[in-house]
């Protein structure tokens, strides 16, 4: 018991020495609406921590998608624009072209980025737009309550694949990182996850790296996150982390897909 | 009598699509109508072999519909307001190529991403074009779950009769609410297809081209004249509406779909108070039932139009009655729904001077 | 006879299915029925409600301004809907969950100890059936037998082993009135 420190109850008198954890100032105080255990919350925090650490709150503009993270602008305490479903890369392109000295990122789900918005995504990548795409791949349409996404795994049950995804009629899960890595104009493409502490730390480094590249004007970067959707996967948060570990990351292998100078 | 079930509007519509012998569904999920594709994914293919395809976007859905309709099959897409906006180019092409098919819009509040709550703000888009060019859709507006079923069948029948695309213009409330419905019996899928369908050139006949491109203006004008002639015929023969209590009415409440349900309740409340109120409810909004308003106008003291928008159908009502009677409007927007008491209060205020 | 009711509470309390069971029961008795849920993201843990209308005659609006009966399973629902009850209407609320009960003098107020019974039955998930029992005992909108029939339709087949406990809950709820 001797090493217990008595913590003052009044928050106003909390002293710095007692603070072990703070949320970045670039996150608002609004409680997240995400379901318990959802990857969106973690990635929001990592992204904003990086913005905090690089001290670019006043120099970065974000583009929110249509998907569960449609309200990203409620939580990220920076200037943001809301794009139509799938069009974030077009919106982001234009913001960056108008203000090349600013940082720009889009934040998109798999339906948004890889289904309805795949044309905008590929063309922004192909032009080597100097921006960051943060891509949350949770293998379903979370917001509209769990339909098949382009990234849904083979045989995975969703509300529009009640008998499992049949790759013969519904196609194969798209590996967007590998696809975009083919394009000569993409600079840095990496796939991360946030399902345990180690991966969270690595993921944050990747986000930082991508924004540093943007600062240097290197071109299109994408950080894909193998995410989860406990609600629509009909799993507890823990079960969903296990599914990420055992199933998702088998198909979507975590690691750098394209790094400067080769691989 | 057909089978009676208690069903959600979206699911009843999906069941009707199977039973009407649909050959193909192409769509992209969007609230408040995703139940349609979910229901079909589970039920349709096993029962009738119907193709159910989740497209990558509404742009793709509507062009799939174009291709499928061009093969002479019974085909459909469903969506909600933002998705229907994306489809407008394709709808214009389908109208230009004179392909029969069904498009369902379960409206939500806009503009833009708006809200997912019920709205009726796509009336102009549905009835006055939406896409480019001089075209019309046949637009049916269900006011209960039963009509979500009946208008699927009617929509296909009219669309195929005239080779004009049809639209079921519903709203989030129609899609989400449950009511008792009588379902028609399964109609077998067709095995024979119209003359004009691109099913492979017959040896002894001309080949078929599906297109909306007529580069010579003289030809394009002829196409337009043919379309307009069809529209005049549709206006003359296919207008549908319902009236209630017009016999002794001094005032008429009107609206379409959800608006007409609220108008009906407000009428009941008004009658309880002794006001002689009747109801006109268009079932087709293109063709619009101008005549019934025109005929009724001289006999009454005024019309109150109730819509979940800023006043869209009311323009057609005003066009119909001219200065023959007074027309007032009560609307809510952005996913808010008018409640019958407020409608009644508004009526008392504007027409009877009761505060 | 027309019953214009609203069932309201937190998402997850079985609010929507209460209304749906009543609608089914009405249909079984050949009545006109309409069930209109609130929908949208608010369903994730927030408040939920379902308007349910059962009538001998054609139902006009699914959206109504004032209710014959309000069933409230949480405080926000009492606060929100008490004023929307018609004079001589009824409110039924879960007394175990509500700190500020309704106060109007011109309505019938039933505070029933639903949650207590649910705990006694060792199954908090049947709270909705208990309250529905109280509703039917107070309002007699449909016969209990129709509710039992309706339950079979609303509960997916794989949960049919739960029919007896739900019926028991319903009976206990009836006895509270
Ligand atoms: C034009 C248009 N079509 C459809 C929708 C409905 N919609 C909203 S979000 C979404 C998919 C979301 O999935 P995803 O991008 O994977 O994001 P998640 O919710 O899984 O994070 C869809 C289809 C819409 N808002 N607009
Ligand atoms: S529905 Fe899925 S993606 Fe959306 S917040 Fe919940 S868990 Fe996350
Ligand atoms: Mg997703």
Domain boundaries, chain C: 2-175
Intervals of chain A under pLDDT 70: 1-15, 263
Residue range B57-80: mean pLDDT, rounded: 98
Quote the CA–CA distance of B213 and B221 in Å, as a whole number: 12
**B81 CA to centre of own chain:** 13
Do B27 and B7 lie in one domain? The reply is yes
Measure B207 CA to nearest chain A CA, in Å: 30
Mean pLDDT of all residues in chain C? 93
How many domains would you assign to chain A? Answer: 1
Residue B99 has pLDDT above 90, yes or no: yes
pLDDT at residue B129, as a whole number: 85
For residue range B219-236, list pLDDT tens digits in order: 999 999 999 999 999 999
Last residue of a domain, one of B237, B261, B295: B237
Q: Do the domain assignments include residue A102?
A: yes
Collapsing DSSP to helix, strand or coil, C32 comes out as strand
Q: What is the pLDDT of residue A1?
A: 38
The domain defined by C2-175 folds into Pyruvate-ferredoxin Oxidoreductase; domain 3 (3.40.920)
Report the CATH number that the domain containing residue B279 is assigned in CATH. Answer: 3.40.50.920
pLDDT at A19: 81
Cβ atoms of A228 and A138 within 8 Å: the answer is yes
pLDDT value for A12:
57
Residue B318 belongs to domain spanning: 241-352
Do residues B164 and B57 both lie within one domain? Answer: yes
Q: Is residue B76 part of a domain?
A: yes
* The pLDDT of residue C45: 53
Residue C54's contacts (CB-CB under 8 Å, 6 or more residues apart) are C1, C2, C3, C5, C22, C23, C25, C26, C31, C32, C33, C141, C142
Expressed in angstroms and rounded, the spacing between residue B87 Cα and the centre of ligand 2 is 28
Asked whether the beta carbons of residue B341 and residue C153 sit closer than 8 angstroms, the reply is no
Is A119 a domain residue? yes
Name the DSSP class of A145.
T
Number of separate domains in chain B? 2
Given CB atoms, is B115 within the 8 Å cutoff of chain A?
no
Domain span holding position A235: 33-258
Pocket flag, ligand 2, residue A142 (CB < 6 Å) = yes
CA A231 – ligand 2 centroid, Å = 6
Whether the CB of A231 sits within 6 Å of ligand 2: yes
Atom of ligand 2 nearest to the CA of A37: 7
Report the alpha-carbon angle C76-C82-C84, nearest 5. Answer: 115
**Shortest Cα–Cα distance, A144 to chain C (Å):** 9
Question: Which of the listed residues B168, B203, B237 is the one where a domain comes to its end?
Answer: B237
Whether residues B178 and B310 fall in one domain: no
In a domain, B220, yes or no: no
Answer whether A34 contacts ligand 2 (Cβ < 6 A): yes
Distance, in angstroms, between A163 CA and closest chain C CA? 18
pLDDT at B49: 97
- Closest-CA distance, A219 to chain B, in angstroms, reads 27
CA A208-A213-A216 angle, to 5 degrees, is 130
- Given CA atoms C156, C157, C159, C165 in this order, what sign does their dihedral have? positive
pLDDT value at residue A10: 58
d(CA C110, CA C89): 11
Q: Would you say residue A5 lies in a domain? A: no
CB B133, CB B92: distance < 8 Å: yes
Evaluate: CB of A248 within 6 angstroms of ligand 1: no
Q: Which atom from ligand 1 is nearest to the alpha carbon of B57?
A: 3
State the sign of the Cα–Cα–Cα–Cα dihedral C13, C15, C18, C21.
Answer: negative
Q: Which residues of chain C register pLDDT less than 70? A: 40-46
Task: Check if C41 contacts A (Cβ < 8 Å).
Answer: yes
Span B165-174, average pLDDT: 97
pLDDT value, residue A14? 59
Q: Looking at the structure, do residues B65 and B166 belong to the same domain, yes or no?
A: yes
Give backbone dihedrals phi and psi of B255, rounded to 5 degrees, phi first. 170, 170
In this structure, the dihedral spanned by the alpha carbons of residues B172, B177, B183 and B188, taken in order and rounded to 10 degrees, is 40
Within a 10 A sphere around the Cβ of B274, how many other Cβ atoms?
A: 6
A231 shares contact with chain C (CB less than 8 Å): yes
Cα A105 to Cα C100: distance, rounded to the nearest angstrom: 49
B206 found inside a domain: no
Q: For B179-190, what is the mean pLDDT?
A: 97
Compare CB distances from C64 to B31, B180, B340 and report the shortest one's residue.
Answer: B340
CA gyration radius for chain B? 21
- Residue that is last in its domain, among B178, B202, B237: B237
Cβ(B255)–Cβ(B219) below 8 Å: no
pLDDT at C43: 42
Q: Which CATH number fits the domain that encloses residue A99?
A: 3.40.50.970
Residue B246 and residue B233 share a domain: no
d(C-alpha B78, C-alpha B108), whole Å: 13
Which of the 8 DSSP states describes residue B294?
H
In this structure, are B141 and B21 located in the same domain?
Answer: yes
**ipTM confidence score:** 0.92
List the single residue in B116, B176, B262 with the smallest CB-CB distance to C61.
Answer: B262
> Which residues in chain B (127-186) have CB-CB distances under 8 A to chain A?
none
For residues B270-282, give the mean pLDDT. Answer: 98
Residue B342 shares a structural domain with residue B311 = yes
Arithmetic mean of pLDDT, B312-316: 98
Which of B180, B266, B344 to mutate to test binding with chain C, by most C CBs within 10 Å of its CB?
B180
Reported as a single tens digit per residue, the pLDDT across C112-135 is 999 999 999 999 999 999 999 999
């Amino acid at each position: 018991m001797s090493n217990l420190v008595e913590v003052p109850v009044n928050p106003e008198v909390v002293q710095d020495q007692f603070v072990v954890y703070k949320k970045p100032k670039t996150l608002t105080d609004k409680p997240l609406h995400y379901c318990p255990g959802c990857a969106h919350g973690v990635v929001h925090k990592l992204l904003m921590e990086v913005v905090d650490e690089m001290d670019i709150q006043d120099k970065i503009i974000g583009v929110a998608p249509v998907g569960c993270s449609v309200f990203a602008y409620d939580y990220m305490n920076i200037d943001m624009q809301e794009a139509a479903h799938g069009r974030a890369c077009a919106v982001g392109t234009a913001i960056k072209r108008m203000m090349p000295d600013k940082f720009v990122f889009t934040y998109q789900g798999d339906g948004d980025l890889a289904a309805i918005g795949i044309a905008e995504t590929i063309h922004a990548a192909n032009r080597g737009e100097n921006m960051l795409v943060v891509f949350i791949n949770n293998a379903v349409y979370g917001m509209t309550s769990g339909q098949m996404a382009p990234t849904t795994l083979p045989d995975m049950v969703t509300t529009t694949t009640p008998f499992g995804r049949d790759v013969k009629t519904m196609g194969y899960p798209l590996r967007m990182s590998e696809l975009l890595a083919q394009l000569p104009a993409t600079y840095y493409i990496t796939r991360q996850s946030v399902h345990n502490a180690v991966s969270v730390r690595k993921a944050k480094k990747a986000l930082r790296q991508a924004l540093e590249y943007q600062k240097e004007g290197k071109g299109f970067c994408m950080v894909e996150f193998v995410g989860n959707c406990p609600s629509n996967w009909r799993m507890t948060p823990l079960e969903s982390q296990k599914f990420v570990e055992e199933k998702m990351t088998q198909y979507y292998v975590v690691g750098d897909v394209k790094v400067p100078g080769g691989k | 009598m057909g089978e009676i079930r208690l069903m959600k509007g979206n699911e009843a519509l999906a069941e009707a699509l199977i039973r009407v012998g649909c050959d193909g569904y192409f769509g992209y999920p969007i609230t408040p109508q995703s139940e349609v594709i979910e229901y079909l994914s589970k039920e349709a293919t096993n029962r009738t072999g119907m193709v159910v395809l989740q497209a990558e976007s509404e742009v793709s859905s509507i062009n799939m519909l174009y291709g499928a309709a061009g093969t002479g099959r019974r085909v459909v897409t469903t969506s909600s307001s933002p998705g229907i906006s994306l489809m407008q180019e394709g709808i214009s092409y389908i109208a230009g190529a004179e392909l029969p098919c069904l498009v369902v819009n379960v409206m939500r509040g806009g503009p833009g991403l708006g809200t997912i709550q019920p709205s009726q703000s796509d009336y102009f888009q549905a009835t006055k074009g939406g896409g480019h060019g001089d075209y019309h859709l046949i637009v049916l507006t269900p006011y209960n779950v039963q009509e979500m079923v009946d208008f699927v069948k009617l929509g296909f029948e009219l669309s195929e009769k005239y080779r004009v695309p049809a639209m079921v213009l519903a709203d989030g409330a129609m899609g989400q609410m449950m009511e008792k419905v009588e379902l028609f019996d399964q109609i077998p899928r067709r095995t024979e297809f119209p003359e004009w369908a691109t099913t492979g050139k017959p040896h002894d006949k001309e080949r078929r081209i599906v297109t909306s491109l007529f580069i010579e203006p003289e030809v394009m004008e002829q196409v337009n004249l043919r379309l307009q002639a069809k529209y005049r015929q549709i206006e003359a023969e296919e207008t549908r509406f319902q009236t209630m209590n017009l016999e002794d009415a001094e005032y008429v409440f009107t609206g379409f779909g959800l608006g007409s349900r609220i108008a009906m309740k407000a009428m009941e409340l008004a009658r309880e108070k002794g006001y002689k109120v009747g109801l006109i409810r268009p079932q087709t909004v293109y063709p619009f039932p101008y005549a019934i308003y025109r005929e009724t106008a001289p006999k009454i003291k005024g019309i109150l139009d109730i819509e979940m928008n800023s006043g869209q159908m009311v323009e057609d009502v005003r066009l119909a009655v001219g200065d023959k009677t007074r027309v007032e409007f009560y609307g809510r927007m952005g996913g808010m729904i008018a409640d019958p008491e407020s409608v009644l209060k508004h009526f008392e205020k504007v027409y009877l001077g009761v505060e | 006879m027309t019953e214009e009711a609203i069932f309201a509470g937190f998402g997850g309390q079985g609010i929507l299915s209460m209304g749906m069971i009543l609608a089914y029961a009405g249909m079984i008795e050949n009545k006109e029925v309409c069930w209109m849920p609130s929908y949208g993201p608010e369903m994730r843990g927030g408040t939920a409600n379902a308007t349910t209308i059962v009538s001998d005659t054609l139902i006009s609006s699914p959206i109504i301004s004032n209710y014959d009966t309000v069933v409230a399973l949480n405080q926000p629902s009492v606060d929100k809907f008490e004023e929307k009850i018609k004079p001589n209407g009824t409110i039924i609320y879960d007394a175990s969950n509500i700190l500020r009960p309704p106060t109007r003098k011109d309505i019938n107020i039933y505070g029933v100890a639903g949650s207590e019974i649910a705990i006694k039955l060792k199954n908090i998930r049947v709270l909705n059936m208990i309250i529905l029992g109280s509703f039917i005992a107070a309002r007699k909108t449909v016969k209990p037998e129709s509710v039992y029939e309706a339950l079979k339709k609303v509960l997916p087949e794989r949960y049919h082993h739960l029919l007896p406990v739900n019926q028991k809950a319903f009976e206990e709820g009836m006895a509270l009135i």
